[in-house]
């Protein structure tokens, strides 16, 4: 039971009670999953025990430590899809990075390859690679990410000489294509796209058909004999250029297009005839001139220069900055710019464009998956303007192209040995590849693809483990709607199952609204016609996303899948009226006060709250991956659990013991709180001992339950930690109730409550300080532990308790309390006449900076250490765990902090204390067992760090145990 519920004044707020800050990263995991049902599985699946680390590794030399600190400053390499393509089977010859070179070509001469993604961006590197392996890629060139960095260093001016280099590269493209840039009769047209080293879908901008102007559009029409196509290309350029380069609101263009469509009685864009598009170009140019204050540029080089600047500029647009913050992307140079000769999917019905995945990105099923649109250009598929056809319908349109795509799927997977996300265009029956990148996928798909690829012998076990982003495993533990309830509650409509999961919430109609209402604790579902990159903050805050247009590869779908957030897209029956704040489905209205349920695995939308069921737990491929993880991990994973049911669940999830049982959580239920208060309010030792005697059986019963659930595995029980006034009532009514219950006066209770008041409870009378003042509390708790262990032993249950003394900062504290605990253990054994071995270890938390600084002294009295990095972070930074949210958003948006230090361990600062505590502890006691039980124990990056430091185990909440197991294996594999 979280103590937060019991808090009655802000001052009493503290870390154990308000895990909300430190647990924010695990919000999805811990909050949503606390009631999860799981399928039982035997503990025998997890046979591996924690391996001891060598003393040598444990006590590195100063030089080694320095090196390790330096490493620690860098984030551990990302192991997710973000890190890009894995090794290739048939590698194209490795290309050379040339210092200062701003442009790398691909085409007839290809200067880059897939290893150069930091410099060329993922897109540029893969265009070069695809060209090298012989795939049909239109020629082009990439301006490096370093050039982008120089642009910013140069106060947003293009580096000297860049445009000369660009002109040379354009000349080369002209030669390859036999067309001239800006030529009035047969112009060379190019696309301009951004592309960072790490994929940021939809975050940055694309400009197509660049090079067209009033004259060359006529030439293009004449040359292709297709006036409609030429003006379609031109209107797109003016629109994209106006929007992306000059910041003209897209809405103005959209409105003008709607009016033309109405005038020409056109249902869709493709129904507008050439005359309409010609007219539209004029209207667009007028819109452009009105909002920009000058004519649409006719000089193609001017167009190109400004487009390059716009791409560089988009790197620091708010939406891109937000995306990088949410995704934790740090240390990137900037974006590359890819300039590529245009091929056209909109020249007629033998043309088209599409996006696809070589396997299903939601489920991982090995079947070509994607969408295409006939007679359409680039962005039409992702923009969700027209509803695309699934690629399975492509053979009916063009069998040969489909066959070619299937053969390219194989070539790409053989080459990249991973699932790819591709973009392609068909120009008059000829297929061109425009992009390939490692495909984003759900946690389920990541696990299934990894297992399939091991079976297909494409990758090794280790590679497979590294392919799965550890944090995404939580998606396999996501809830789903109860099928029975679904049968009784007919779906209002069915959209596309864009990202799995089941969400219930109140509709929010804008991203800002979603952020605001979610920050107040409301569960909201973001309901939009379509989402755009501007909406990322709102999408992130919402529990689910529902869009009325867009396909499986729309922005909403791609981003939601990346986050593992439930999303239903393209639900055409949903009519949204954003200004009024309602949406309608088949005549039924839903406003902000209504609840809706969306099923991201089926696309169904229901009125009201549909009951959810928790997933099956670790079975099938998931179990296989977990088994492999345990095979490779060298660091153990325990859990933080305070109840037998949490302990059971964690064991099913593979925990190898309990690293932290917070005993304060055991004093709230039923009559326990009354007895606890009686103990706290006691004015003398006798009364306190009387109350403690009443608490003893409760404690014993709790411990016996947990030891039984963890039979054969260690259970670290932490003695009482919070300041006592956290258990006391503060409101007059509650005080009266306590006074009546205890048969004392209201004044007596008030007097005691005031006496216990502290200005700084977090640094006050808590942790081991309580046991120093009230040794009888420690005696009762230790007695309960020993009696429970003996009871278990008598019932043939192997209890392995470990007693942990919190908040030690001075060695004498531990020496004194250890002695007392040992005396109690001996006394209880004697009383119970228990002759068998009862090896109860006594250790401490290292959560106060002084404890880390004097860990060698403290280790003399400890059998184990456990880093309490929640308090250690709090006390190192001087940030209150309870109040950090008042300023953290400013620190994150202004890049003062790279991330919330309560979520991911601050390796540079707090890490020094961890390393010092570790090294000093091990220098005094080479075999000292050392773990971590702060919330960081479930954060993959922090887990990796703990591995590097050499900890024996991490301990985290039950639903993060699988994540920590995989992260521990990844750390072992990556660090060799
Ligand atoms: C810690 O401080 O890291 C810890 C685990 O203890 P608590 O969160 O209960 O303070
Ligand atoms: Mg603590």
Render 887-920 in DSSP notation, one character per residue: THHHHHHTTSSSS-TTTS--TTTHHHHHHHHHHH
- 809: CA distance to ligand 1 center in Å? 15
Which of the residues 792, 933, 946, 956 is marked catalytic? 933
* Digit-coded pLDDT (tens) for 157-167: 999 999 999 99
Q: Counting ligands in written order, which one lies closest to the CA of residue 660?
A: 1
**Ligand 1, atom 6: nearest CA belongs to which residue?**
868
Q: Which of 663, 763, 806, 809 to mutate to test the pocket of ligand 1 (most atoms within 8 A of CB)?
A: 806
Cα-to-centroid distance, 684 and ligand 1 (Å) = 30
Beta bridge partners of 340: 140, 191
933 is catalytic: yes
Q: Could you tell me the sign of the dihedral formed by the alpha carbons of 434, 440, 441, 447, in that order?
A: positive
Quote the CA–CA distance of 606 and 593 in Å, as a whole number: 15
The confidence score (pLDDT) of residue 202 equals: 65
Cβ of 665 less than 6 Å from ligand 1: no
Residue 24: pLDDT band with limits 50, 70, 90:
very low
Of the listed 506, 555, 665, 861, which one is catalytic? 555
Residue bearing the CA closest to ligand 1, atom 7: 16
Task: Collect residues with CB below 5 Å from ion ligand 2.
Answer: 847, 868, 871
212/188 Cα distance (integer angstroms): 8
Give me ligand 2 centre to Cα 850, in Å. Answer: 14
What is residue 564's predicted lDDT score, i.e. its pLDDT? 64
Residue 355 neighbours by CB distance under 10 Å: 24
Q: From the CA of 476, how far away is ligand 1's center (Å)?
A: 28
Coil, helix or strand at residue 64 = helix
Residue 462's pLDDT is: 97
Binding site membership of 766 for ligand 1 (Cβ less than 6 Å): no
| 15 CB within 6 A, ligand 1 | yes
Percentage of the chain modeled with pLDDT above 90: 62
Does residue 415 have an active-site annotation? no
Confidence of residue 440 (pLDDT cuts 50, 70, 90): confident
Residue 179 Cα to ligand 1 midpoint, Å, equals: 68
Nearest 5°: the CA angle 630, 633, 638 is: 75
The percentage of residues in the chain with a pLDDT greater than 70, rounded to a whole number, is 87
State the pTM of this model.
0.76
659, 843 Cβ separation under 8 angstroms: no
Higher pLDDT, residue 684 or 552 = 684
Testing ligand 1's pocket by substitution, the residue of 869, 933, 942, 956 carrying the most ligand atoms inside 8 A of its CB is 933
pLDDT digits (tens, 9 = 90+) for 246-281: 989 888 999 999 999 999 998 877 789 999 999 999
Radius of gyration of the chain (CA): 32
| Vertex 468 angle, CA 478 and 531, to 5° | 60
The alpha carbon of 871 and the centre of ligand 1 are apart by a number of angstroms equal to: 6
Would you say the CB of residue 847 lies under 6 angstroms from ligand 1?
yes
Mean pLDDT of 328-347: 88
pLDDT digits (tens, 9 = 90+) for 809-819: 999 999 999 99
**Residue 958: predicted pLDDT:** 84
pLDDT at 919 over 90: yes
pLDDT of residue 362: 81
Our answer on whether the CB atom of 869 is closer than 6 Å to any ligand 1 atom is yes
Q: Please tell me the total number of residues recorded for the chain in this structure.
A: 976
Orientation of helix 685-709 relative to helix 775-794, angle to 10°: 30
Tokens of 732: 């007059």
Locate the ligand 1 atom nearest the alpha carbon of residue 869 and give its number. 3
Atom of ligand 1 nearest to the CA of 874: 2
**503 Rama class: left (phi>0) / alpha (psi -120 to 50) / beta:** beta
Q: How many angstroms does the Cα of residue 954 sit away from the middle of ligand 1?
A: 13
Query: What is the spatial distance between Cα 325 and Cα 900, in angstroms, rounded to a whole number?
Result: 11
Q: In the numeric block, which tokens belong to residue 229?
A: 């196509």
Closest ligand 1 atom, residue 22 Cα: 8
């Amino acid at each position: 039971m979280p103590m937060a519920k019991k808090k009655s004044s802000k001052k009493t707020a503290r870390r154990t009670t308000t895990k909300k800050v430190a647990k924010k990263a695990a919000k999805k995991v811990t909050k949503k999953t606390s009631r999860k049902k799981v399928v039982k599985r035997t503990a025998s699946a997890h046979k591996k025990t924690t391996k001891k680390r060598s003393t040598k590794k444990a006590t590195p030399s100063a030089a080694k430590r320095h090196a390790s600190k330096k490493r620690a400053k860098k984030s551990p390499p990302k192991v997710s899809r973000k890190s890009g393509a894995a090794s290739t089977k048939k590698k194209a010859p490795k290309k050379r990075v040339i210092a200062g070179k701003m442009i790398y070509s691909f085409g007839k001469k290809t200067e880059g390859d897939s290893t150069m993604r930091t410099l060329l961006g993922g897109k540029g590197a893969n265009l070069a690679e695809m060209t090298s392996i012989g795939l049909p890629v239109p020629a082009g060139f990439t301006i490096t990410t370093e050039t982008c960095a120089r642009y910013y260093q140069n106060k947003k001016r293009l580096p000297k000489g860049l445009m000369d280099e660009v002109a040379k590269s354009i000349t080369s493209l002209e030669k390859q294509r036999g067309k001239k840039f800006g030529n009035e009769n047969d112009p060379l047209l190019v696309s301009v796209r951004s592309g960072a080293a790490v994929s940021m879908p939809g975050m940055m901008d694309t400009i197509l058909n660049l090079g067209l102007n009033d004259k060359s559009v006529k030439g293009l029409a004449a040359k292709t004999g297709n006036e409609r196509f030429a003006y379609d290309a031109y209107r797109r350029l003016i629109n994209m250029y106006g929007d992306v380069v000059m910041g003209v609101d897209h809405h103005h263009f959209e409105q003008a297009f709607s009016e033309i469509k109405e005038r020409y009685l056109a249902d869709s864009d493709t129904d507008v005839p050439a005359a309409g598009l010609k007219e539209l170009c004029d209207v667009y140019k007028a819109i452009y001139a009105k909002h920009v204050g000058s004519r649409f540029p006719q000089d193609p080089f001017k167009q190109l220069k400004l487009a390059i600047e716009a791409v560089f500029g988009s790197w620091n647009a708010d939406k891109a900055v937000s995306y990088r913050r949410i995704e934790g992307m740090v240390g990137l140079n900037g974006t590359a710019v890819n300039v590529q000769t245009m091929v056209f999917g909109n020249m007629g019905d033998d043309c088209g464009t599409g996006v696809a995945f070589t396997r299903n990105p939601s489920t991982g099923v090995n079947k070509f998956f994607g969408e295409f649109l006939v007679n359409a250009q680039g962005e039409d598929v992702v923009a969700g303007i027209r509803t695309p056809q699934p690629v399975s319908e492509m053979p009916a349109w063009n069998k040969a192209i489909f066959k070619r795509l299937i053969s390219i799927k194989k070539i790409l997977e053989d080459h990249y040995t991973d699932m790819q996300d591709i973009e392609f265009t068909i120009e008059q029956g000829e297929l061109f590849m425009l992009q390939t990148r490692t495909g984003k996928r759900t946690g389920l798909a990541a696990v299934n693809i990894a297992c399939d690829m091991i079976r297909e012998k494409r990758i090794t076990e280790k590679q497979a483990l590294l392919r799965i982003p550890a944090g995404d495993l939580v998606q396999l533990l996501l809830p789903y709607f109860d099928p029975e309830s679904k049968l009784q509650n007919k779906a209002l409509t069915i959209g596309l199952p864009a990202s799995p999961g089941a969400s219930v919430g109140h509709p929010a109609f804008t991203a800002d609204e979603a952020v605001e209402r979610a920050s107040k604790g409301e569960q909201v579902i973001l309901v939009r016609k379509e989402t755009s990159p501007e909406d990322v903050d709102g999408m992130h805050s919402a529990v689910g996303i529902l869009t009325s247009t867009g396909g499986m590869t729309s922005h909403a779908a791609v981003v939601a899948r990346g986050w593992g957030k439930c999303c239903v897209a393209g639900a055409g029956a949903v009519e949204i009226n954003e200004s009024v704040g309602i949406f309608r489905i088949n005549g039924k209205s839903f406003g902000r006060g209504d609840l809706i349920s969306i099923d991201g695995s089926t696309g169904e939308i229901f009125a009201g709250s549909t009951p959810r069921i928790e997933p099956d737990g670790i079975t099938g491929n998931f179990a296989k991956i977990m088994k492999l993880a345990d095979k490779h991990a060298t660091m153990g994973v325990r859990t933080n659990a305070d109840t037998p049911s949490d302990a059971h669940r964690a064991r099913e999830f593979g925990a190898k013991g309990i690293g932290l049982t917070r005993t304060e959580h055991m004093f709230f239920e039923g009559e326990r709180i009354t007895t606890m208060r009686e103990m706290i309010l006691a004015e003398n030792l006798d009364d306190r001992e009387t109350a403690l005697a009443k608490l003893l059986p409760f404690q014993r019963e709790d411990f016996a339950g947990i030891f039984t659930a963890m039979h054969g595995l260690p259970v670290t029980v932490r003695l009482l930690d919070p300041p006592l006034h956290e258990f006391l009532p503060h409101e007059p009514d509650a005080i009266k109730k306590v006074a009546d219950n205890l048969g004392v006066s209201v004044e007596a209770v008030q007097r005691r409550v005031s006496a216990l008041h502290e200005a700084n409870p977090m640094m006050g009378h808590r942790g081991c300080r309580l046991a120093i003042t009230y040794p009888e509390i420690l005696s009762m708790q230790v007695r309960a532990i020993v009696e429970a262990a003996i009871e278990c032993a008598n019932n043939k249950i192997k209890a392995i308790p470990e007693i942990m003394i919190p908040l030690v900062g001075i060695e004498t504290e531990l020496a004194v309390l250890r002695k007392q605990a040992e005396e109690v253990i001996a006394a209880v054994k004697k009383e119970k006449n228990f002759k068998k071995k009862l090896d109860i270890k006594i250790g401490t938390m290292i959560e106060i900076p002084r404890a880390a600084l004097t860990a060698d002294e403290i280790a003399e009295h400890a059998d184990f250490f456990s880093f309490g990095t929640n308090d250690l972070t709090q006390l190192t930074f001087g940030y209150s765990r309870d109040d950090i949210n008042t300023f953290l958003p400013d620190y994150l948006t202004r890049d003062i902090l790279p991330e919330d230090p309560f979520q991911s361990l601050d390796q540079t600062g707090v890490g020094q204390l961890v390393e010092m505590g570790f090294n000093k502890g091990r220098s005094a006691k080479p075999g000292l067992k050392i773990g971590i039980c702060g919330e960081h124990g479930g954060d993959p990056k922090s887990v990796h760090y703990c591995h590097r430091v050499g900890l024996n185990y991490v301990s985290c909440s039950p639903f993060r145990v699988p994540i920590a197991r995989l992260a521990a294996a990844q750390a072992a594999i990556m660090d060799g």
